[in-house]
Structure 1
Amino acid sequence: MFNTCLRIPEAGIAVLGIPKCACQSVWSAVIEAVSGERPDDPPRHPVIAERRCTAAEAKAEGLFVFAVVRHPLDRLVSLWGNKIAPAGSGDKTRTRGMKALQKQGYTLGASFSQFVGEVAERRDINQHTLPQTEFCAPGGVWSVDELIRFESLPEGWEIVRERWPALPALPHRNPSARGDWRGMYDDDTGSLARSLYRRDLILLGYE
């Protein structure tokens, strides 16, 4: 799953999926454009398996690579809310993600501050907590041609649709019911999270 692109050769592009950066929504849109289906479980849809590649492979094929990026501290809050915070039963992808995190030592139902502390101990073993720059600039080498900000996603997605008009408007999967992510941080958790994602903050232009 790390550094997973979807080839769209009919448009000369590829889209790099970064977990908790509208990845499910982007993949759903690609599946709908290719198959006409609206998938319940995008990662398990055959279109994903057929079109999956690495960003390096997409670049070698001459495809123009897009990626959606997000403020790393917002992404961390989203992950906690979707897969760690106490909640009712979720969809298949949420359930799989919860089980994977639990196996890696994360505490389901943990407070946000506890979760941030656990991320500090095991950040690099799960794709959801791995820094975004490990996807779009592994080894310090950029593997994408254009970044689309999550914060202005509707406008950014239109740039992709101009290249491939068959794409639908972006569906909103895994919407957050929480307010401003900044309110989740105190001085200690904010300082720790910023140190964990310092490279993302700088290279992605969030600081």
Structure 2
Amino acid sequence: MISLQKRFLFVHIPKTAGNSIQNILRDYSEDRIVASGGQDGVERFEVRSDGRELVKHSTLAEYYRELGTETADGLFKFACVRNPWDRMISFWFSPHRRETKWDPKKFRKFVEKEVRPLREYFALPTDAGKPPFGNVDFIIRYERLNDDFRTVCEKLGIPPVELPVRNRSERGSAAQYYDDKLSAFIAETFADEIDYFGYQRP
């Protein structure tokens, strides 16, 4: 989601409270909210940027391609990140998937085939091997969501708002779903973001 008026660019990574954030930012963005049954979450909406090939979960590189380097560089760029062990369980039980049962084998295949690591959302062609997470100006931690979002609001000059976590399920703690083998798979798959942000197995 972008705003040329408020000069921001929000990279929406799935299952990081992005729907709640975009519901607040929509009043300041030129993007349109469009109903879409295939989207994640209870609200099932897509984001459209008129005249640009950008969608709800566009990567930073896609924003740069559509906006141009000069415009994108001039925007306050931010995203929200989340412990990958927790994020993957939330992804598995996301309402749009209609998955009600826990199946470790299917879960592993789902993560392998359908989930992008964080680095793919942050990467730019100019990275030259360096960690891509520094390509945005601010990163909201899901674990301190409202405090960090308040910082964003102050930066943008908009009233601070308490964010509802709209898609919380009754699935319980992520820890109950992982044995050592499955936990090690998550640790290997998302190693760079775990190392960079200091995440630990729940």
Q: What TM-score, normalized to structure 1?
A: 0.69
Q: Does 1:60 align with 2:70?
A: yes
Of 5, 9, 12 in structure 1, the residue corresponding to residue 7 of structure 2 is: 12
Of 110, 131, 135 in structure 1, the residue corresponding to residue 117 of structure 2 is: 131
CA contact 1:80–1:115 (8 Å) conserved in 2: no
Equivalenced residue count is: 173
* Cα separation, 2, equivalents of 1:117 and 1:199: 19
- Residue type of the alignment partner of 1:115: K
CA distance 1:54–1:114, shift in 2 (3 Å): closer
User: Structure 2 stretches of 5 or more lacking a match?
Assistant: 36-42
1:201 corresponds in structure 2 to 194
User: Which is bigger in relative contact order (C-alpha 8 A, separation at least 6)?
Assistant: 1
Q: What TM-score, normalized to structure 2?
A: 0.71
Report the secondary structure of 2:171's partner residue: coil
2:21 corresponds in structure 1 to 26
User: Structure 1 stretches of 5 or more lacking a match?
Assistant: 1-5, 84-93, 100-107
CA contact 1:18–1:69 (8 Å) conserved in 2: yes
CA contact 1:29–1:171 (8 Å) conserved in 2: no
CA distance 1:67–1:175, shift in 2 (3 Å): same
2:180 corresponds in structure 1 to 187
Alpha-carbon shift at residue 30 of structure 1 (Å): 1.7
Report the secondary structure of 2:135's partner residue: coil
* Cα RMSD after superposing both structures: 3.0
CA distance 1:42–1:10, shift in 2 (3 Å): farther
Deviations 1:99-132 (A, max 9, x none): 9xxxxxxxx555341233213642xxx3xx1111
CA contact 1:29–1:167 (8 Å) conserved in 2: no
